[in-house]
Amino acid sequence: MAGHWLKPDWEPGLTLPSLPISTLLDLGIQAIILDVDGTILSGKENTLQTAVKDWVKSAQKHLSIHLLSNNPSKNRIGVVADQLGLTFTYGAAKPRRAPLNKVINQLNLRPSEIAIVGDRIFTDILGGNRVGLYTVLVRPIDKNGLPSKKNHFQNLEKKLSRLLGVSKG
């Protein structure tokens, strides 16, 4: 695959609840590895917005979903996963390949049939690109389920990734 290790395959500029599931289905995606903090809820919250729950419910009609978080708290990620009825991995150490490969093997799909959806370039996107997943960068979500106005971290990551210009090839 030509391009850039830090470049998402798809950057719609939307938060998760606005992400069109049909686009993923049209690409032949059969499962999603989903980030937690910043992607399905803001870092300090533990109650999911209705829009997020509805999106996950719709997506689950067509796709397997596994939560994969670098957050070391089994309790926090477990509480979130329980609200959605999803399997989960905590303390995942993205962008390391091992935790991603473990989920890929459990799903029993080709990496190209799995999307990783997250809000961080240096964990979600880099990790996903390293193992050949379809990588989707979403806008971070705030506590009301809206696009976070404080997007400093992702903006900084974009600047850094342009500076680094690391080639995949």
Whether the Cβ atoms of residue 6 and residue 121 lie closer than 8 Å to each other? yes
Closer to Mg ion by Cβ: residue 30 or 123 = 123
Candidates 5, 6, 32, 38: give the one binding Mg ion (CB under 5 A): 38
CA angle 114, 116, 118 (to 5 degrees): 165
Candidates 6, 90, 119, 139: give the one binding Mg ion (CB under 5 A): 119
Closer to Mg ion by Cβ: residue 16 or 63 = 16
Q: In angstroms, rounded to a whole number, what is the distance separating the alpha carbons of residues 103 and 64? A: 11
Closer to Mg ion by Cβ: residue 62 or 83 = 83
Closer to Mg ion by Cβ: residue 59 or 137 = 137
| Continuous H helices in the chain | 21-26, 50-60, 74-84, 97-107, 126-130, 152-164
Binding part of the chain for Mg ion, among 38-46, 57-65, 109-117, 154-162 by CB under 5 A, reads 38-46
Tell me: does residue 8 bind Mg ion (CB under 5 A). no
Closer to Mg ion by Cβ: residue 37 or 157 = 37
| Residue nearest to Mg ion as judged by C-beta position | 38
CA 55 to chain centre: 14
Of 150, 91, 83, 161, whose CA–CA distance to 121 is shortest?
Answer: 161
Task: Find the shortest distance in angstroms from Cβ 108 to Mg ion.
Answer: 26
Candidates 15, 29, 35, 65: give the one binding Mg ion (CB under 5 A): 35
Here the tokens at position 56 are: 């996950």
Candidates 8, 37, 63, 157: give the one binding Mg ion (CB under 5 A): 37
Here the tokens at position 28 are: 């032949």
Cα R_g (the chain), whole angstroms: 15
Site of tokens 């404080």? 150
Here the tokens at position 73 are: 């708290």
Footprint of Mg ion (CB under 5 A): 35, 37-38, 119-120
